[in-house]
Structure 1
Amino acid sequence: MTAPHTAAAGRRLPHFIIIGAMKCGTTTLYRQLAAHPGIDMSRDKETDFFVAEKNWPQGLDWYEAQFARETPGAPRLRGEASPNYTKSRDFPGVAARMAETCPEARLVYIVRDPVARAESQFRHGVLMGTLPGGLEAFADSHEYHHILDASRYARQLAEYRRHFPAEAVAVLDFDLLVRDPQAVFDRVCDHIGAPRHAVADAGAQNDSRELSRVPAPVLRFAQSPAGRRIAGLVGRGTRDRIRRGLARGPARHAAPFPEALRARFRADLAADAALFREMTGLPFDNWSV
């Protein structure tokens, strides 16, 4: 594989990576893990390092700088969370780059009802100003297939299993995270080799109500390369305070999601959901497909 990087041996790289899925609680997991005294989470929650179209060209020096330098006598596990790592249709090759760079990494894949996840991503796109509010042409658009792909969990998991042993990937249920966050956090700690730790009461994470009040041009700039560079100059807490301070405008609202479109999502995702259950051995009884 052609790569613009030097060898990863001896580098300050992650021991574990949350690979998605988008709108499935990755921000909550990131914050809970960041509060663990034995864990160092990346400076940017979504480094997108292994995405060729995003930060892979930045190189390993850039990626290594996402993590704090170790304090002698107090080593910590390093981790990051980038939901774009499970969007293989538009961002191919992520799993292969990850395996080449961090072959021993433990991976965490948290999922929810794939139809509910797709609808949530659509609403998120409207709030961020990256999708139109109307639905007339959405079902035949690039955006529809982009959102659909992120809900094809079997397809995404199969890509990682081609490059990592099956036991390296922990598949978690978002519904359990909502009902019993401590149980999910304990399982994550066990999977990555960290001591169990009480979950912190961090409040709402990635709250759509707050995002809907931040002006859409500001949100789009924050996701641009220039905006991400500027954000990298300040800490996570400062970025959160700035976002709360900007959430002063009128709330934006996505159009009501029609049942016909929801039914199309169910039809398009049914086969993948069945295969995902077979691959993981998990029932996902509450899913709509």
Structure 2
Amino acid sequence: MSNTLKRLPHFIIIGAMKSGTTSLYRYLAEHPDIEMSREKETDFFVAEKNWELGMDWYSSQFSSDKKVRGEASPNYTKQRDFPGVAERMHALCPELKLIYIVRDPVLRAVSQFKHSFIQGTLNPEIQTFYGSHEYEHIMDASKYASQMDAYLAVYPKESILVLDFDDLATTPQKCMDQITDHIGIARHAIFRKGKQNDSVELSRIPAPILRFAQTRSGQRMAAMVPRNARDKVRGLLARGKERRAPEFPADLLATMKSELSAETARFRAMTGHQFANWSV
């Protein structure tokens, strides 16, 4: 079945979480030849989330006749808790172009911890974090080589474009040119620069509202509202006191670096990228 008949994506941003996927989604949505999915994170290929909604639902995420379609779901690179994503993806879209944006794996893990803290979805006591389910979940998303293994088992290496979050932050146009070259469309100047997912703003929104927004009902409600309007609503809701995550103890950071060292070295070898500014 062609991806034209069922309006399937031509490319997918597969992660990593807290590495600039929201910025990429919005930059790409500005391109005249690209339609991004109605919901930024469809999570369609995650069996534990939206796979059961079926092809008609996924196809409905796209409605235009633009040249290419894309989506961005960071949960696609969390193989420990969401296995089988790459296999489902390849069975449905074998010719996909994939984009994997990554950042310093320790900083990424810390950022995800802070995000979960703001959402109110983990135990706020940092002393209980090490060794917990949430710790293993967060660390898994920073094990980039293992995440790549699942995709390289079904997709050719040239189908996967690896980008560094540091480059997106400093030279976003260069990153966007790499993406458009990768997916085979004309380059396009970007206009919306800067942070697209401000954690300070999110931290001022009541945690119960943020948690509801992550549920299926909350996502469906949000999908009915244009993104610009959603941004305005989010700004109006961000009136509470800022919630600050606890600082990471130095010994825990050292442990995380040690646990991610071999994995990161293997990722450098498999991609040919140096990631010179990373801490591990």
Give me the TM-score of the superposition, normalised by structure 2.
0.97
Show structure 1 runs of 5+ residues with no match. Answer: 1-6
Cα distance, 1:133 vs structure 2: 2.1
Q: 2:36 aligns with which of 41, 44, 49?
A: 41
- What residue in structure 2 maps to residue 156 of structure 1? 147
The answer as to 2:84 corresponding to 1:89 is no
- For the Cα contact (< 8 Å) 2:112–2:138, is it kept in 1? yes
CA distance in 2, matches of 1:48, 1:237: 22
Secondary structure at the aligned position of 2:127 is classed as coil
- For the Cα contact (< 8 Å) 1:108–1:170, is it kept in 2? yes
The answer as to 2:60 corresponding to 1:69 is no
CA distance in 2, matches of 1:8, 1:78: 13
Secondary structure at the aligned position of 1:228 is classed as helix
- For the Cα contact (< 8 Å) 2:35–2:64, is it kept in 1? no
CA distance in 1, matches of 2:30, 2:72: 14
Q: 1:31 aligns with which of 10, 17, 26?
A: 26
Deviations 1:222-258 (A, max 9, x none): 0011111211211211211111110011110000111
Counterpart code for 2:107:
A
- What residue in structure 2 maps to residue 59 of structure 1? 54
Secondary structure at the aligned position of 1:139 is classed as coil
CA distance in 1, matches of 2:222, 2:192: 25
Cα distance, 1:132 vs structure 2: 2.4
CA distance in 2, matches of 1:8, 1:63: 14
The answer as to 2:12 corresponding to 1:21 is no
CA distance in 2, matches of 1:113, 1:90: 21
Counterpart code for 2:147:
Q
- For the Cα contact (< 8 Å) 1:13–1:78, is it kept in 2? yes
Cα distance, 1:8 vs structure 2: 5.8
Deviations 1:148-186 (A, max 9, x none): 000000000111000100000000011111111111010
Deviations 1:32-90 (A, max 9, x none): 000111100000010000000000000010001101232xxxx3210000000000000
Counterpart code for 2:26:
R
- What residue in structure 2 maps to residue 12 of structure 1? 7
CA distance in 2, matches of 1:268, 1:111: 17
Q: 2:245 aligns with which of 241, 248, 254?
A: 254
Counterpart code for 2:187:
R
Deviations 1:186-233 (A, max 9, x none): 000100112101112244211001000000000000001111121121
Identity %: 58
Secondary structure at the aligned position of 2:147 is classed as helix
Moved more, 143-152 or 61-70: 61-70
- What residue in structure 2 maps to residue 272 of structure 1? 263
Secondary structure at the aligned position of 1:286 is classed as coil
Moved more, 136-145 or 224-233: 224-233
Q: CA RMSD in A?
A: 1.0
Query: Structure 1: which 4+ aligned runs deviate by more than 4 Å?
Result: none
Counterpart code for 2:162:
V
Tell me how many residue pairs correspond in the alignment. Answer: 279
Give me the TM-score of the superposition, normalised by structure 1.
0.94
- What residue in structure 1 maps to residue 235 of structure 2? 244
- What residue in structure 2 maps to residue 4 of structure 1? none
Show structure 2 runs of 5+ residues with no match. Answer: none
- For the Cα contact (< 8 Å) 1:212–1:253, is it kept in 2? yes
The answer as to 2:248 corresponding to 1:282 is no
Counterpart code for 1:42:
S
